[in-house]
Amino acid sequence: MTALQLTDLNKSFGAVHVLKDINLTVEEGEFVVFVGPSGCGKSTLLRVIAGLEDATSGEIRIGASVVNDTPPAKRGIAMVFQSYALYPHLNVCENMSLALKQEKQPKAEIEARVAEASRMLSLDPYLDRRPAELSGGQRQRVAIGRAVVRQPQLFLFDEPLSNLDAALRMNTRLEIAKLHRQLEGSMIYVTHDQTEAMTLADKIVVLRDGRVEQVGSPMDLYNNPANRFVAEFLGSPS
């Protein structure tokens, strides 16, 4: 089963052509990492998949459904942002519950899902704290927990660790890898960090100027980069 299929996807903002003929498949359970320089269109691609931006042309298929006209909340996707995007006036429990309340999930179901996500992400001691009372790493775990409770078919992470210091980045990276093993979910993860890409990915998609430059396993790309650009990104001498 395919989790995501993009066919001839294009996105322009006015005269600016940002995403160019993207064709891409994510298999169910796969951890796919998008890498590429700043401005190459990584965030735009995630936002188009999530439905936060409309595609200009092309098809977005999630599972068995074409979702081009499906609103974001109904796409079976949850996105984790670099900036956390938590609600400052809500505590951790309320931040994690909000989307489920909006979906009108039963109270017992909401409590069970929040309890499970808190346990997975070691957030139990912080459930009644507000974001301002948490460290950066704890806030990012809440943002991840808020995605986990929705039980999405597909997780999207947009540079989730780039605001954390090096030690926390490593811890949180290991936590995301563990989450992927436990949930067996399909994940797309954007980064410009070579170590994150090489250690997390089943499959790496190298983007350059809005196009897919190369797709392959970390070892494929490391050993057989298509060109100097890919080689420089993945640290292998070309």
Q: Where along the sequence are the contacts to ligand ADP (CB under 6 A)?
A: 13, 16, 18, 36, 38-44
CA distance 155 to 187: 5
Q: Is 95 in the site for Mg ion (CB under 5 A)?
A: no
- Comparing CB distances to Mg ion, the nearer of 43 and 214 is 43
Q: Is 97 in the site for Mg ion (CB under 5 A)?
A: no
Strands 2-13 and 57-62, bridge-based pairing = antiparallel
Q: Is 191 in the site for Mg ion (CB under 5 A)?
A: no
Q: Is 140 in the site for Mg ion (CB under 5 A)?
A: no
- Comparing CB distances to ligand ADP, the nearer of 145 and 160 is 160
Select the span of 42-50, 111-119, 173-181, 215-223 touching Mg ion (CB under 5 A).
42-50
Q: Is 43 in the site for Mg ion (CB under 5 A)?
A: yes
Q: Shortest Cβ distance from residue 48 to Mg ion (Å)?
A: 13
CA distances for 15 relative to 11, 12, 20, 45, 214, angstroms: 10, 7, 13, 17, 26
- Comparing CB distances to ligand ADP, the nearer of 13 and 87 is 13
- Comparing CB distances to ligand ADP, the nearer of 117 and 161 is 161
Tokens 């294009």 map to which residue? 10
Q: Shortest Cβ distance from residue 178 to ligand ADP (Å)?
A: 26
Of Mg ion, ligand ADP, none, which one sits near residue 39, judging by CB under 5 to 8 A according to partner kind?
ligand ADP
Give the burial string for 2-26 (b: 16+ CB within 10 Å, else e): ebbbbeebbbeeeeeebbbebebeb
Strand partners for 24: 6
Strand partners for 10: 57
Q: Which residues contact 238 (CB under 8 A, 6 or more apart)?
A: 225, 227, 228, 231, 232
Give me the residues that bind Mg ion (CB under 5 A), please. 42-43
